[in-house]
Chains A and B, each alone.
Chain A
């Protein structure tokens, strides 16, 4: 048991810490990411009001169109909702979409890559053929189509993104698997009588883990961006307040014309920061990945 903890520390924590120490950007982005997660988790405690709460003044007037003030740091919407609270709650759909889609992409892509690479032959041909078909599908148009057809909801977006983006992960993972399969310790397992299941999941998969994580973080960035885009186009969920939704509302009520920069700039920045930090974390995984890929 102690050995398992020690090995966790050595294999997962330490390489990460080393990379974070060297790469300042990765460090800052990791901290940013953690801040976003904490914001999402503790939103009800942090946000001064509910995201859809219509604020009414003491004398019964709707507090709409307010510019930033001490009471409402980012002002209010035409409907009288607190923009800051919306911003804070907006981190939730972003992260939910990002993390779920990322996991989905990583899972499907890894499984396809593992089975394709390990078994080879006909299965490999079929799976890669399917992957190639998916590559031919244009991303955003399909998302929009699906959103329009199946109705707008956060889950639809997650599924759509996961359903498409795994294709990016499958081929590189398959390549890795092809190489690992020939490593002697896999043959050693085969001679001992290991089942293909064992060879795949006990011997090969753990070495694929860094690559899967890389694609998970990249997909996370894409998913967040996609959700924002779709919501901005008005095809997203109208019940959930996401940053994209905020931009949509801002656009609809011509916030730019009014100079209500406090409404459309903060969500834009948040999207930028969150997506950037996902990509940056993914990039720093590449740094850890390269020595692992080399078998060190």
Chain B
């Protein structure tokens, strides 16, 4: 039976700007960046989901919402059918045992004063797992072994600055998995590592996800990497989902004009590759936009029509679970 492990309903996160005194007095409404804007989707157990988008699209914010580093501004998040959006205190702490995050930068994610043992064991201490020090030590060593930091005894005494980037990232993975979570958000897990070391971490994650029966959500700007790792892909732009579907399907047959541009723009390690033309202009806007009634992509879309500016795009389900949010596909067919 296919189980929905995470479900998100109309989720939004707005980062407000601090108002000046004048603005408060004049009663101006608070404005902010809509990092995640009215998103609804679900993740099946065991899936390898990829969330891809350019910088500032809200993918990292989405990840942090799911692990409750951020609290939603509105909307709800369900984990195994329980609403976790407003959890506090002990209940939130319990949730943290089941969902973990792998951070992007192994150079800043580890407290410089902690040994690798301290770092990987901390979650155990926080949640009071393990009857005594000896038991905890066994668990830590087992985990260090699993992530390839062998021999565990040697690595457990080392500090972060004594390890390479790749080794530090492995420690980050070890710590994330030591509580045996069910769901992991991996935020650009390899982007800070040298190219020749990236596959090591990614293959490790894949292997452990299999072994420990994890559901993983990978966040990345690198479409090629997502294609390698994930079976489902979501394309995000300015806090909204534009396209969802099976990875191969979306890449070979991108429907949304933005996805088409992304796919056409990715450089490929093959000098004879015939690239498609990138049909959109400009770049991701750096200044937060006023919320508009229509599609957020109107400024850059090469196929924009008047309806696009007036109404938000419909969710169109093309066969095989491929979903696109675009007026071009009303009625399930492409209208150009």
Contact = CB atoms under 8 A, between A and B. Distances in A.
Contacts of A265: none
A189 B122 contact: yes
Interface in A185-236: 185, 187-195, 198, 203, 206-207
Interface in A1-59: 3, 7, 11
Contacts of A188: 101, 103, 109-110, 172, 175
Given A3-B157, A198-B126, A191 B67 contact: yes
Contacts of B93: 193, 195
A7 B117 CA distance: 14
A187 B104 CA distance: 12
A71 interface: no
A107 B101 CA distance: 35
Interface string B97-108: 100110101001
Contact of B113 (A194, A198, A206): A206
A182 to B, nearest CB: 10
A3 B115 contact: yes
Contacts of A198: 126
B108 A191 contact: no
Nearest to A6: B157
B4 interface: no
A76 to B, nearest CB: 55
B113 A7 contact: yes
Contacts of B179: 192
A193 B126 contact: yes
Given A3-B115, A191-B101, A185 B110 contact: yes
A190 B69 contact: yes
B111 interface: yes
Contacts of B159: 7
Contacts of A207: 113
B123 interface: yes
A185 B108 contact: yes
Given A191-B100, A191-B101, A185 B111 contact: yes
B97 to A, nearest CB: 7
Given A3-B115, A3-B157, A188-B103, A193 B127 contact: yes
B127 A184 contact: no
Nearest to A7: B113
Given A192-B100, A193-B97, 8 more contacts: A184-B105, A185-B111, A191-B67, A191-B69, A192-B123, A193-B123, A195-B126, A207-B113
26 contacts: A3-B115, A7-B159, A11-B113, A184-B103, A184-B105, A184-B108, A184-B109, A187-B103, A188-B175, A189-B122, A190-B69, A191-B67, A191-B69, A191-B96, A192-B96, A192-B123, A192-B126, A192-B175, A193-B93, A193-B96, A193-B97, A193-B123, A194-B126, A195-B93, A203-B111, A295-B112
